[in-house]
């Protein structure tokens, strides 16, 4: 039978006391079958703090250098110092999120709130999407209304919801806040009334306020109306409506074997057309008499919009 030996140290004068717990139940201490030295090896947690360094509350939220706020029960949080926090859903399931916040915590009524009176920001991972949020200064414990500044979607695309500034620029007027591609339906008119028809198609690209609208007009029927030819249906309203607006364009008219260069422009929100004269001078406008049933027009205009 193995023996238990308690051996003192020949040079030490201190007394080692083993104290039994306050229990009426037998307890067994089983030692491993190897040499062990208590107090040896690398130190684990060593503290010289003169106060409470780590607080774990009854909901198992942890504060390092701070007492944790009262968090929503469904969240587990680690608060760091004054205003930083790392928190996530306690339940392990799909659709849950992780958030790193500065001056934010989730209250028991589920509001995301300020820890103290100051600005707030947060970074969240949720359903594979990364979201960066900011908020102006608010009062301690008041609910936060975040503005999403930037997102990285779960398909790898990035989205700046409120636009982009470049370099050190801070001017709101220089914010690039839109890029868009799409289709539009050109509608031809003669003299402001029904005009030629066909399988008319259009596409556009919008970068900020600038729109480039392309059109393809294979004419199959002219109708009975007369007058100047115009196009309606622009995808965005022009900022300026007169002939000297920022709209411009260039096209080819194809009637049988005839190829003719034309000018086009914006007039009162419509696309108007002008035949190109000798030496680049404009001659007459483009009217119903310029068409045949086989006329094919293609071109584009670029203009500014406030939309």
User: What pLDDT sits at residue 40?
Assistant: 56
Q: Which residue has the higher pLDDT, 2 or 116?
A: 116
Query: DSSP of 174-209, one letter per residue?
Result: G-B--EEEEEE--EEEETTEE--EES-EEEEEEETT
- Residues 6 or more apart whose CB falls under 8 angstroms from that of 239 comprise 209, 245, 246, 303, 304, 305, 306
Domain ranges for the chain, please list them. Answer: 54-174, 181-304
Cα–Cα distance measured from residue 202 to residue 305, given in angstroms and rounded to the nearest whole number = 17
Question: What is the greatest pairwise CA distance in the chain?
Answer: 123
Asked whether the predicted pLDDT for residue 279 surpasses 50, the reply is no
Phi, psi (5° rounding) for residue 37? Answer: -125, 115
User: What pLDDT sits at residue 281?
Assistant: 47
Residues 17-50, buried b or exposed e (16+ Cβ, 10 A)?
eeeeeeeeeeeeeeeeeeeeeeeeeeeeeeeeee
- Residues 6 or more apart whose CB falls under 8 angstroms from that of 222 comprise 195, 196, 288, 291, 292, 293
Q: Which residue has the higher pLDDT, 201 or 36?
A: 201
Cα–Cα distance measured from residue 36 to residue 296, given in angstroms and rounded to the nearest whole number = 94
CATH class of 181-304: mainly beta
Rounded to the nearest 10°, the torsion over CA 79, 81, 82, 87 is -20
User: What pLDDT sits at residue 148?
Assistant: 95
Cα–Cα distance measured from residue 134 to residue 112, given in angstroms and rounded to the nearest whole number = 12
Candidate from 15-29, 84-98, 105-119 with smallest mean pLDDT: 15-29
Q: Is the dihedral of CA 145, 151, 154, 155 positive or negative?
A: positive
Q: Tens of pLDDT along 93-149?
A: 999 999 999 999 999 888 999 999 999 999 999 999 999 999 999 999 999 999 999
Q: Kindly report the pTM of this predicted structure.
A: 0.68
Average pLDDT, the chain: 85
Report in angstroms the alpha-carbon separations of 118 from 135, 136, 140, 183, 272.
9, 8, 8, 46, 56
74: left (phi over 0), alpha (psi -120 to 50) or beta: alpha
Q: Tens of pLDDT along 161-208?
A: 888 999 999 898 888 889 999 999 999 998 888 988 889 999 999 999
User: What pLDDT sits at residue 152?
Assistant: 95
Q: Tens of pLDDT along 239-265?
A: 876 554 555 566 666 655 666 677 788
Q: Which residue has the higher pLDDT, 267 or 64?
A: 64
User: What pLDDT sits at residue 280?
Assistant: 45
3-state secondary structure of 88: strand
User: What pLDDT sits at residue 243?
Assistant: 53
pLDDT band at 297 (very low <50, low <70, confident <90, very high): confident
Q: Which residue has the higher pLDDT, 282 or 306?
A: 306
């Amino acid at each position: 039978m193995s023996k238990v030996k308690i051996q003192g140290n020949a040079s030490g004068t201190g007394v080692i006391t083993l104290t039994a717990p306050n229990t009426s139940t037998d307890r067994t201490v089983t030692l491993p079958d190897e040499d062990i030295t208590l107090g040896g090896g690398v130190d684990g947690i060593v503290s010289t703090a003169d106060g409470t360094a780590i607080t774990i509350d009854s909901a198992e939220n942890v504060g390092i250098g701070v007492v944790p706020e009262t968090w929503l029960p469904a969240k587990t949080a680690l608060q760091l110092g004054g205003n930083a926090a790392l928190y996530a859903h306690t339940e392990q399931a799909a659709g849950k999120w992780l958030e790193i916040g500065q001056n934010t915590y989730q209250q028991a009524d589920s509001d995301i709130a300020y820890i103290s009176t100051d600005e707030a920001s947060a970074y969240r991972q949720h359903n594979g999407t990364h979201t960066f949020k900011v908020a102006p200064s608010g009062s301690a414990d008041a609910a936060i209304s975040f503005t999403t500044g930037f997102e990285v979607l779960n398909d790898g695309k990035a989205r700046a919801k409120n636009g982009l500034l470049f370099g050190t620029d801070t001017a709101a007027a220089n914010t690039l806040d839109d890029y868009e591609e799409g289709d539009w339906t050109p509608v031809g008119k003669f003299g402001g009334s029904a005009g030629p028809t066909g399988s008319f198609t259009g596409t556009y690209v919008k970068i900020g306020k600038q729109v480039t609208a392309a059109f393809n007009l294979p004419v199959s029927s002219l109708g009975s109306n007369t007058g100047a030819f115009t196009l309606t249906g622009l995808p965005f309203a022009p900022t300026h409506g007169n002939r000297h607006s920022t709209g411009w364009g260039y096209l080819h008219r194809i009637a049988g074997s005839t190829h003719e260069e034309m000018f086009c422009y914006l007039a009162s929100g419509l696309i108007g057309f002008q035949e190109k004269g000798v030496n680049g001078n404009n001659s007459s406008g483009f009217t119903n008499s310029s068409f045949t049933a086989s006329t094919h027009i293609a071109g584009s205009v670029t203009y500014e919009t406030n939309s």
